[in-house]
Amino acid sequence: MDRIEAMRAFVTVVSEGTFTRAADRLKISPQLISKYVSQLEKHLGVRLLNRTTRRIHLTEAGTHYHQRAQQVLNDIDDMENQLGNLQTEAQGLLRISAPVSFAIRHLALLLCEFQKKHPAVGIDLQLNDRKVDILEEGFDIALRIGHLKSSSLIAKRLASVRLVLCASPAYLEQYGTPQRPEDLREHRYLRYSYMNTDSSHSLEKWLLDRSREHTRGISSNNGDVLIEAASAGAGIALQPTFIAGPAIKEGKLKIILPEYEPEPMALYAVYAHRQLLASKVRSFIDFIDGFFGNPPYWDRFE
């Protein structure tokens, strides 16, 4: 018995609903489909399907086996697609959506190096801090930063993203250095308006309370503006190190309350389908994976 073919026959019967339709889809006879399923049940020692003259029904064992078998077949197809793509030159226009500040600071070199390796791929990079709809807006890949929620999209983790609370030495000298999160009530907060704040975290709770008062501080949808403002002494900012790192390294900013840092976020490459992935998309995913290092190079400032 060819176990892979038997597995594929069983999964197709389940998806098509009858042996006849499964046979049509696989372009083999219904008798061979039935033989494959029977051999599979005999091999496993369990009944996978209850058959009637009109319908088939999965048994409990069949339900469990179907889920795993579908994943195995997907993995096999994916592996074969990858091998096929090795023989196909990556080409065409690759449309990428990326966060504004991250792209400006960290994507130019990556894209240049990628095109040196894949000269037949054109790049259309669109910068936007909002969450784009990949399918609706026609993007091949979106780079996203945060704690991703479950979705139908495929997400590849690329690097950790550390958040630090920081202020200029001059500001801290004038207003004092907070020693506890509750000390933040006396300070100006430079708030990133797109940030999702976790009110259960002690530091973020106090920052959320400060942002609700709106009596002092600055709010902006761009982290570079907030880091420049913090460096000029305007207040305290909570920003990722891929933006704040250079100012910290140059002594323009100091990290405060490091023991209360929020849980690190991550940078992800998000795309729509795992199967039949275009060679230009797969090539870019493979290229960007590991490009930033572990830990990422932007955290090498201390």
Residue 123 has pLDDT above 70, yes or no: yes
Q: Please, are residues 221 and 194 in contact by the beta-carbon 8 Å criterion?
A: yes
Residue written as token pair 């008798």? 31
Residue 138: which region, alpha, beta or left (left: phi > 0; alpha: psi -120 to 50)? left
Question: What does pLDDT average to over the chain?
Answer: 88
Q: Provide the 3-class DSSP secondary structure of residue 192.
A: strand
pLDDT at residue 136, as a whole number: 80
pLDDT at residue 278, as a whole number: 81
Give Cβ neighbours of residue 224 (< 8 Å, ≥ 6 apart).
101, 104, 243
Residue 292's CB is within 10 A of a number of other CB atoms, namely: 18
Lowest mean pLDDT of 114-128, 132-146, 185-199, name the range. Answer: 185-199
Residue 222 has pLDDT above 80, yes or no: yes
Give dist(CA 63, CA 48) in Å, integer.
8
Give dist(CA 175, CA 230) in Å, integer.
13
CATH topology of domain 163-255: D-Maltodextrin-Binding Protein; domain 2 (3.40.190)
Decide if 92-160+265-299 and 163-255 have a common fold: yes
pTM of the complete model: 0.67
Higher pLDDT, 81 or 100: 100
Q: Where are the domains of the chain?
A: 3-84, 92-160+265-299, 163-255
- Residue 268: pLDDT band (50, 70, 90) is very high
- Residue 271: pLDDT band (50, 70, 90) is very high
Query: What kind of architecture, by CATH, is found in domain 3-84?
Result: Orthogonal Bundle (1.10)
CATH topology of domain 92-160+265-299: D-Maltodextrin-Binding Protein; domain 2 (3.40.190)
